[in-house]
Chain A
Amino acid sequence: MFESLGGRLEDALSKIRGKARLSEADVELALREIRNALLEADVNLLVVRAITDRIREAAVGAMASRSLTPGQQVVKAVNDELINVLGGETFRITYESKPPTVILMAGLQGSGKTTTSAKLARYFKAQGRSPMLVGADLQRPAAVEQLKTLASQIQVPMFSEWTSPIEVAKAGVAEARRIGRDVVIIDTAGRLTVDAELMDEIAAISREVRPKYTFLVIDAMMGQDSVNTAKAFNDVLELDAIVLSKLDGDARGGAALSVKEVVGKPIAFASDGEKLDNFGPFHPDRMASRILGM
């Protein structure tokens, strides 16, 4: 359905390949193709604009160098720019000297928070830590049940109670301290950024438990709204990192680029399946190629 950017740029540039030097108009033609490819990959329009502006600078140089494959050269410039945006500082977890290290999960409905919470717990356990899961989603039917089931699959303790999300989070951290667990992962209900009450609620949870890390879970299939979502969560929570979910699909995943560009926080982990071991560190280079369809 989507032709690769490499192929499209070659097509666009083949008409002008014979020229000794490529003109500004030629560069604009190539940039048009890049814009279109990024939009088809669901990179947010405003982000596309910022990125193509930066690629323009790089591309002018690349295209002036009488290459036989100017298309490939421009693709390389694009690829480098994307890796640059997606990468940057790599994310490294450090642990509180006075445990537990508290991690707060946030995101839209259905993005993958509960599953990711369990995946993280499994990950920490494999690192030799003793994690605990806290079910602070008292809203979605059977959310606590879901987390409890996942927790038992990985043999990690899980805490919840029918009070309020803030109380559960608070009591969960206290319980972890009491039984000597050193990482606490708090699963929260999905919420829309326009829902002021629920955005206030998660901000209140955050103030109460003072998480060392706050992770926003973003669905790789997300479209243009990724930018609104990431900005709004970052405004109320000061995110530390993004976790991408559902990368096992065939979405191009432009949302990753958009979110990274607007909040500037690292993409720490990626999920590529429903199973709890379908999870690991994020690879910027693979994501760049994927967005470009290469």
Chain B
Amino acid sequence: RAKRALGEEFWVELEEALILSDLGLDLSVDLVESVRNKVYKEGVTATDAALEMLREEMIERLDHSNRDLNLGDAPPSVVLFVGVNGVGKTTSIGKLAALLSSEGKKVVVAAGDTFRAAAAEQLEMWAQRSDVQVVKGASGADPASVVFDAISHGAAVGADFVLADTAGRLQNRQNLMDELKKIRRVAEKASGTVTEVLLVLDATTGQNGLLQAQGFAEAASVTGVILTKLDGTAKGGVAFAIEDKLHIPIKFVGLGEGILDLVPFDPKAFVYEITGEVSQ
């Protein structure tokens, strides 16, 4: 195939591919500008080389983070799952419980969403699939106490991990964010270590994802992102923006509704998906 010349058209197409992947306007413009400068300095004239330079720059920007699950000194390691409504918190717990169990870890899950209809039943069904214990409270019970009880139970049975579900909430609802603060505070008091607060982010989310990350980081000190629903046509570029601007690492991605569909984040694959549609 004939190589295209590096003209204005190429840069426009590049910027558009980034925007269409939900990286956001600022970041898209910034990335293209940066690569354009490099291309100019290094005298690159082929579009495929320029595209490769963009990918390198993007991968480099993603390369500084530790993406492993943090472990606590005093077990169990407690992982809180937080995020707006319907993003995939409960499902991701089900998948992570299976992943950790398959590595021989003992896992307890906490049904900390006592609000949404059938949230506990949904988590229970997931827990059954990977044969892990679930601790739940009554519908409408105080979520912080459910999480506390689950951690205490986890400590008593020698669990390595307690994965705690929380109800979906929008970051602009102050009372719900205060409730989340409380869940975290109470979880800290139980006999384990809160090692992770994972923000679950739907890959179809637009620029509101940045506000979600800011809001949840402020309320609960988010330590990482799980980017779900990447098996669809959405590219999840706002997660790139979150990592770039707020330095919150993407730790896992969701690639389906099955129990095995949670995998560690791979920066290279992510960047290639985002830039994949640019013709060279």
Contact = CB atoms under 8 A, between A and B. Distances in A.
A240 to B, nearest CB: 22
Given A194-B232, A221-B205, A1 B210 contact: yes
Interface stretch (A20-28, A65-73, A75-83, A141-149): A141-149
A248 B170 contact: yes
Contacts of A64: none
Contacts of B25: 36, 39-40
A41 B24 CA distance: 10
Contacts of A1: 210-211
B172 A141 contact: no
Given A141-B125, A224-B206, A45 B86 contact: no
A149 B206 contact: no
5 contacts: A109-B88, A110-B229, A143-B118, A224-B21, A251-B211
Interface in B17-58: 19-22, 24-25
A281 B50 CA distance: 49
B204 A225 contact: yes
A223 B207 contact: yes
A139 B257 contact: yes
Given A40-B25, A223-B22, A110 B88 contact: yes
Interface string B224-261: 00000101111101100000000000000000010000
A142 B118 contact: yes
List the 9 shortest-distance A-B pairs measured between CB atoms, nearest first.
Answer: A223-B206, A110-B86, A42-B206, A149-B117, A141-B125, A251-B208, A146-B118, A142-B122, A225-B234
Interface in A106-125: 108-112
Interface in A247-294: 248-252, 254-255, 274
B63 interface: no
A249 B122 contact: no
Interface residues of A, number: 46
Contact of A40 (B121, B122, B172, B207): B207
A130 interface: no
Contacts of A225: 22, 204, 232-235
Given A108-B204, A250-B211, A45 B19 contact: yes
Interface of B: 16, 19-22, 24-25, 84-88, 94, 115-119, 121-122, 124-126, 168, 170-173, 202, 204-211, 229, 231-235, 237-238, 257
B19 to A, nearest CB: 5
A174 interface: no
B171 A39 contact: no
A219 B118 contact: no
Interface of A: 1, 36, 39-42, 44-45, 108-112, 139-143, 145-150, 153, 192-194, 219, 221-226, 228-229, 246, 248-252, 254-255, 274
Contacts of A112: 85-86
A224 B170 CA distance: 20
Given A145-B118, A224-B21, A219 B170 contact: no
Contacts of A274: 85, 115-116, 168
A228 B203 CA distance: 14
B21 to A, nearest CB: 7
Contact of A249 (B21, B24, B84, B257): B84
Contact of B118 (A149, A194, A250): A149
Contacts of B20: 44-45, 224
A42 B208 contact: yes
A106 to B, nearest CB: 15
Contacts of A40: 24-25, 207
Contacts of A111: 86
B206 A221 contact: yes
Contacts of B231: 192, 194
A192 B168 CA distance: 21
Contacts of A249: 84, 170-172, 208
Contact of B122 (A109, A140, A229): A140
B232 A251 contact: no
Nearest to A2: B207
A289 B243 CA distance: 30
A123 B27 CA distance: 43
Contacts of B171: 249-250
Contacts of A192: 229, 231-233
A251 to B, nearest CB: 4
A255 to B, nearest CB: 7
Given A45-B16, A145-B121, A192-B231, A219 B86 contact: yes
A193 B117 contact: no
A3 B192 CA distance: 44
A145 B117 CA distance: 8
* Central interface residue in B19, B173, B207, B233, by most chain A CB within 10 Å: B207
Given A142-B118, A224-B20, A42 B207 contact: yes
